[in-house]
Structure 1
Amino acid sequence: MTRSLRLPITNTFADGGYSVRAHVGADQQAVHLILDTGSATLALGHAHYHVEKDNYVEFTYYSQSIKYAEGSWHGPVVKTTVRLGIFGHSVTLPQTFVAIAKEPNSPEQPCFKKADGIMGLAYQPLNHAYRYCDETKEKLSEYDLYSVLLSDSVETEQAELNVDKPIATTLPSYFSYLEQQHITANKFAFWLHRSSIYNVDSNCLTAALAHRTNYGLFVVGEPLFHKDLYSPPLLNAKVLHDKFYNVTLKAIECEGVATNAPVLKASDQARWCSNAIVDTGATVIGLPESLYDDVMGQIHACVRNADVLLAPFTAFSFQEQGIPLTELDLTKWPTLTFILEGEHGEDIALRLPPDAYWQIHAPSYNEASFKMFPLKHWPNQTILGLPLISQYYTIFDRARGEFGVVSFAHKVTAGQTVETLKQIFKK
């Protein structure tokens, strides 16, 4: 078993979401995949995968149709080789399931932004698929089905197939399959700087690519081996279900005043499982409307002109908004503390400082973007996204306990590592 692997990732291809470089198929086509703990499917945009170049490809009788908060796609499923990392420092999974995603014509919000696809890191029950049965096999080969499934729409597919509807099922997710094949341990971690792209003077993507805070690390296998990335203690939040990384949010504190998080309604339990999830695919903190109103009330009590500064951010938009950076004084804004249920029922406290829920030089140079939003027409579930995850060395340990834990450790920065080394060599 590979002990551990650390891979560079960047937030510049997915509007603040992080993507990793992977290599697919016989000719090792290079692709950038968004890393998303809020979904479980490995998918490539059909324009970014060249099936004719892949001598390893196996066509299947599976299809997938996935809808995200932003965008949707459908398409066939193939099996091929996917490698993470560079030769000599990589993990390779032969003949794993990969969906070839076709989005609606001219989508308002492309699913994958400027990335080539997505790697869902959640559990298999979220990796929904459809299996075509004997009637289809009598009429179409796997390749014929592949071609039809990349047609214009799901309705066109059904008309052309003229077969019974496929059977709903699930497929192993990429990371689950890595562990099942004993290639890596059932753990991974994120070491990040930000939840928005840090834009430089020209607002140029090439220039942003060169800025160090737009990079991070994705650690696969044994995150605790990488002691240069974190320092103890580990704060372990109990995962409650094998769908999302479901946790329990107890309260949010602001200046010593705690606001209790609403519990999930009984009617929402089967689908949503808990009142919070840890989601690397979310570039914001999303709060149920009642909790958001209470927390904003506490912030307004601390910051005299908060109502003016927060006016552009009262509703979530897929297009990131900003205010002039000169209007923002982060020293006036309070640190928030998120209280989660720990592995053994204890409280764990996670700090969210102002420079995490505000992102400077985003969405443009000399602007600032606020990263907490109300979730309207949504269950009582908080989305703990990148603003909180990026404050810690965040470990997703799927092997611990019944459903795993999400661990949060103090993140050691490169500057701190250099200072530590200086002190060592002075002795």
Structure 2
Amino acid sequence: MTRALHLPITLAHAKGAYTVRLALGSERRSGNFVLDTGSSTLAVLPHVYDPTEDSSHAPTSWAQEVSYGAGRWAGPVLNAQVHFEALPMQDQAHCVQLDAAPFSLVQATAQDLHGADGLFGLAYTGLNKAHDMQAYLSERGIEPPLTWPWPFDREDENLADFETLIEQQPRVAVTPLFTALANAGRVENRFALLLRRPLVHVEDDSADPALLVADPRNQGVLVLGGSARQDGDHAHSLHEGDFDEIQLVDDLYYNVDLIALQVGDAPRIQPPPLSAADQRRGGSDAFLDTGCSFVILENSLYDAVLAAFDAFDPRLRATAERFQQAFAQHQQGIANADVDALDWPDLHVWLRAPGGGETRLSCTHEHYWPRNAMQAGQAYFLLMRQLPRWPAQSILGLPLLAEKYSVFDRSECRDGDCGRVRVAKARGADAAWSN
């Protein structure tokens, strides 16, 4: 077993999410894949992988159609080699190859991945469903009855119809890539992320991808495996101070129990009770999602946070609303100086700890209002209202995890215990932070 794989990650490609570089197939074609704890599928865009050039690939009769908070895609499930290439500190023995790893090759999409080549879903198996199309294909004379080459319409507007079709076929579970890696005994069943910012840092709008990658504020580390406390395997160089622990309460997502929010030193704000229907749909009242650039708050919590801003300084709410108007109209932020002119309080998030205690994670204004974000001189407000048609649930995205080293430990998931997340300060956080 490899003790730990340390993989460099960056904001430079997807801009609002971190990507890791993976190589696929016998030809080892590389792509940049969004690290997403809010999903479970390894989804690959066709420009980075061609099964006809890969002697390791094996088609199946399975197909997937996956919907996210925004966008959806569909494609066949294939099996092929996936290669994990470690940081230079490790020798070639630590560059791991996983044979016959399952993934989806996107053939129809209504989602823009913003410069990434696919998604690396890090969540559990329950989110990674597919449907076996064998009987359907055989009835239509497609032999062998496989989903590659893709035998369906590729047009985006037909994805809703395709979802209806495949939901009528037998449902099957696809093993997520990290789960397959752990099940194969290549690493321990835990991973960790060192994250710096929620959005790409841009000092010069003419900067090419190489310059964005070289900016340390756009860099991070993914550690696959490692020891339970992440004190060995070079992880001591990635964090400092003690770990705080968060109890995972469901394995639909990385579900947590959100106890309260607090704006600065104002009174704590409690979330409303979760209905039975939303409990079934969402697993709990909040989850940790590295594929989300925002902290998305349940509607009443969002309103209460904005009201607390108002009480702190009425200009805070007005500035946030001005950003939202600018973003809705032009997909742009507002001037750094407009945000810097105001005194913004920290946002504190209280979560259930193992044993029934509480753990507080704090999100500073530098992270819910990152400066030089996406474009030079612009700031983005990254608190957001609950998504339409979503459970009454908060999605705790990158702003809350910025400048932290977070260990997602799934090694003790048994007897109703879904594991825990351990969070410490990222080493070098104070020196690394700059607008």
TM-score, length basis structure 2 = 0.88
Q: CA deviation at 1:322?
A: 0.9
Q: Deviations over 1:247-272 (max 9, x none)?
A: 01111112322111222211211111
Give the 3-state SS of the residue equivalent to 2:199 in structure 1. Answer: coil
CA distance in 1, matches of 2:93, 2:355: 40
Determine if the alignment matches structure 1 residue 278 to structure 2 residue 283.
Answer: no
Determine if the alignment matches structure 1 residue 177 to structure 2 residue 186.
Answer: no
Query: Where in structure 2 are the equivalents of 1:226-305 lying within 5 Å?
Result: 226-256=235-265, 257-305=267-315
CA distance in 2, matches of 1:318, 1:94: 47
What residue in structure 2 maps to residue 120 of structure 1? Answer: 121
CA distance in 2, matches of 1:358, 1:62: 43
CA distance in 2, matches of 1:300, 1:46: 48
What residue in structure 1 maps to residue 23 of structure 2? Answer: 23
Query: Higher mean Cα deviation, 270-279 or 129-138?
Result: 129-138
Identical aligned pairs, as a percentage? 29
1:102 to 100, 107, 110: 107
Q: CA deviation at 1:237?
A: 0.9
What residue in structure 2 maps to residue 152 of structure 1? Answer: 154
2:320 to 297, 310, 323: 310
Query: Higher mean Cα deviation, 55-64 or 149-158?
Result: 149-158
CA distance in 2, matches of 1:78, 1:255: 49
CA distance in 2, matches of 1:251, 1:179: 34
CA distance in 2, matches of 1:354, 1:41: 32
Q: Deviations over 1:273-302 (max 9, x none)?
A: 100000000011000111011111112222
CA distance in 1, matches of 2:64, 2:199: 30
Q: CA deviation at 1:168?
A: 1.4
> Residue type of the partner of 1:187?
R
Distance 1:338 1:169, change over 3 A: same
CA distance in 2, matches of 1:370, 1:258: 22
What residue in structure 1 maps to residue 48 of structure 2? Answer: 48
Give the 3-state SS of the residue equivalent to 1:292 in structure 2. Answer: helix
Distance 1:288 1:203, change over 3 A: farther
1:410 to 415, 425, 433: 425
Distance 1:318 1:407, change over 3 A: farther
Kept after mapping to 2: 8 A contact 1:124/1:172: yes
Distance 1:135 1:298, change over 3 A: closer
CA distance in 1, matches of 2:14, 2:338: 27
Kept after mapping to 1: 8 A contact 2:131/2:166: no
Determine if the alignment matches structure 1 residue 389 to structure 2 residue 392.
Answer: no
Kept after mapping to 2: 8 A contact 1:76/1:150: no
CA distance in 2, matches of 1:164, 1:254: 44
CA distance in 1, matches of 2:423, 2:356: 16
Instruction: Provide the aligned C-alpha RMSD in A.
Output: 2.7
Kept after mapping to 1: 8 A contact 2:285/2:393: yes
Q: CA deviation at 1:228?
A: 1.2
Kept after mapping to 1: 8 A contact 2:79/2:100: yes
CA distance in 2, matches of 1:336, 1:242: 26
CA distance in 2, matches of 1:298, 1:134: 57
Q: CA deviation at 1:150?
A: 5.7
What residue in structure 1 maps to residue 218 of structure 2? Answer: 214
Give the 3-state SS of the residue equivalent to 1:79 in structure 2. Answer: strand
Q: CA deviation at 1:203?
A: 4.4
CA distance in 1, matches of 2:371, 2:136: 57
Kept after mapping to 1: 8 A contact 2:108/2:159: no
Distance 1:234 1:400, change over 3 A: farther
Unaligned runs of 5+ in 1: 418-427
Determine if the alignment matches structure 1 residue 72 to structure 2 residue 72.
Answer: yes
Distance 1:317 1:246, change over 3 A: farther
Kept after mapping to 2: 8 A contact 1:149/1:157: no
Distance 1:60 1:366, change over 3 A: same
Q: Deviations over 1:333-376 (max 9, x none)?
A: 11121100001110111111111111000131111111101115
Distance 1:317 1:407, change over 3 A: farther
What residue in structure 1 maps to residue 89 of structure 2? Answer: none
CA distance in 2, matches of 1:182, 1:400: 15
Query: Higher mean Cα deviation, 29-38 or 394-403?
Result: 394-403
Q: Deviations over 1:113-162 (max 9, x none)?
A: 21111111110010010112356458434586312336425969999xx9
Kept after mapping to 2: 8 A contact 1:275/1:382: yes
Q: CA deviation at 1:400?
A: 2.9
CA distance in 1, matches of 2:249, 2:81: 32
Unaligned runs of 5+ in 2: 87-91
Alignment length (residue pairs): 411
Determine if the alignment matches structure 1 residue 201 to structure 2 residue 210.
Answer: no
> Residue type of the partner of 1:390?
A
